Amino acid sequence: APAAPAAPPEPTPPPAPAWSEVQGSRRAANNTRTLRVFLSSTFRDYQEERALLMRQALPPLRALCRERDLDLVFIDLRWGISDEDSQQHATIERCLDTIDTCTYFFGFLGERYGWHQAPAPAAADVTLQATIAKAARRRHPWILAHPHVSVTHLECLYGALLYPSETAAHAAFFLRDEAYAQAVPAEQRRDYAAESPFAADQLRQLKASVQQWQQQYATPGSVQVYARPEEVVGQVQALLTAWIERDFPRPAASATPENRDTVVHQHFAQARRRVYVVREAAHAQLDAALDVLTQQQQQ
């Protein structure tokens, strides 16, 4: 019997988009009065750092920004992925798209690699595969060239490493000393360890890429090592302070008190709009009341 025809080769995934295709979105992010800092890390082992950054680093940095008619937001998607995004397999797409809306990218790496598909004979993660496929169909087909990297690794690639010279002045990495994972209580240690030998090797390669990026492209302070979560708060605050002062010099001291009051009110309104919850019923009642008033005035 004739031999069965060979299966056609798998199509080669496209490379990452050229910087010219990406920079429009990121330039637009830099032209707003709200600075957005994307925080990338694994989840279980970085809850303490994220909480400390929100409580201790963000308030003084926001005060610094208010002096420049700016607002500052930390984008923490580990808390911002909705159930709907997860159910619709939109997690990776949402993360990568959000990076394009941010002014700065900060990657935090410990000993855990994150959500990934290990190679065979590991069981297929159907949810992850569907999430990758959806992101690839939309704006990110390049991720198919990285079939076994974690979501955090994809964020680091897209936020900095794929565009090393272009992102060097706006990206940074903070590497936690591996000794910290051994110092946490024994019942928590599993959450701080690599998921498998394969994951540990992938993480080593990612950290090596970060070190190479630092040597060839990064600005001073863009890759720092820290021993404890409290230490990284000061590192983040110092680096962001320097970058804000570099990129957004303080306005002239001639601003009038009225102008400063206007800026304060604008920032207050911006902060409230970010957490505003639409109430359709209340809006309908207000619209109806306005309609009555309008009719009365026209009579």
* Angstrom distance (rounded) from CA 159 to CA 210: 12
Dihedral of CA atoms 85, 164, 29, 72 in degrees, nearest 10, equals 80
Note the pLDDT of residue 285.
86
Note the pLDDT of residue 254.
47
3-state secondary structure 190-211: HHHCCCCHHHHHHHHHHHHHHH
Q: Which two tokens stand for residue 185?
A: 């209580």
Count other Cβ atoms within 10 Å, centred on residue 158.
26
**Nearest to 128, CA basis, from 146, 151, 107:** 151
Its pTM stands at 0.80
**Inter-residue contact 117 to 129 (CB < 8 Å):** yes
111 class by beta-carbon count within 10 Å (0-12 exposed, 13-18 middle, 19+ buried):
buried
Note the pLDDT of residue 1.
58
Rg of the chain over all Cα atoms, to the nearest angstrom: 23
Note the pLDDT of residue 206.
97
Query: What is the mean pLDDT, run by run of 10 residues, along the chain of 299 residues?
Result: 58 78 72 88 93 96 93 80 64 93 96 92 89 92 94 96 93 96 91 95 97 92 95 97 93 60 59 58 84 82
* Angstrom distance (rounded) from CA 174 to CA 220: 13
Distances (CA, A) of 159 to 16, 107, 140: 12, 9, 13
